[in-house]
Amino acid sequence: MEKGLHVLQYDKIRVEGVEDLKALKPDLMITCAFGQILSQEIIDIAKIGVFNIHASLLPKYRGASPINEAILRGEKETGVTIMRTDIGIDTGDIIYKTSTEIKEQETAGELSERLSVIGANAIEKVVLDLLDGKVEYVKQPENDFPYTRIIKKEDAKIDFNEKAEDVANKVRAYNPAPVAYATLNGEPFKIYKAKVSDKTGDVGKVLENEKKLIIGCKDKSVEFLVVQKCGGKPMNAVDFLRGNRLELGKEFK
Give the pLDDT of residue 139.
96
Q: What is the pTM of this model?
A: 0.94
The sign one gets for the Cα dihedral 168, 173, 176, 177 is negative
| Structural domain ending residue among the three candidates 148, 180, 207 | 148
- Give per-residue pLDDT as tens, 151-205: 999 999 999 999 999 999 999 999 999 999 999 999 999 999 999 999 999 999 9
What is the band of 245 on the pLDDT scale with cuts at 50, 70, 90? confident
| Structural domain ending residue among the three candidates 94, 128, 148 | 148
Task: Let me know whether 83 and 188 are in one domain.
Answer: no
Question: Is residue 215 in a domain?
Answer: yes
Mean pLDDT computed over 103-125 = 98
Count of the separate structural domains present in the chain: 2
User: CA 82, 88, 89 angle in degrees (round to 5)?
Assistant: 60
Task: Let me know whether 164 and 137 are in one domain.
Answer: no
Question: Is residue 118 in a domain?
Answer: yes
Q: Minimal CA–CA distance to 52: which of 64, 41, 145?
A: 64
* Cβ(234)–Cβ(226) below 8 Å: yes
Phi, psi of 2 (to 5 degrees): -60, -30
Task: Let me know whether 127 and 171 are in one domain.
Answer: no
Strands 180-184 and 94-101, bridge-based pairing: unpaired
Rounded CA-CA distance 246/162 in Å is: 22
Mean pLDDT computed over 202-210 = 97
Residue 144 pLDDT > 80: no
Q: Which amino acid is it at 117? A: V
Task: Let me know whether 130 and 20 are in one domain.
Answer: yes
Radius of gyration of the chain (CA): 22
What is the band of 145 on the pLDDT scale with cuts at 50, 70, 90? confident
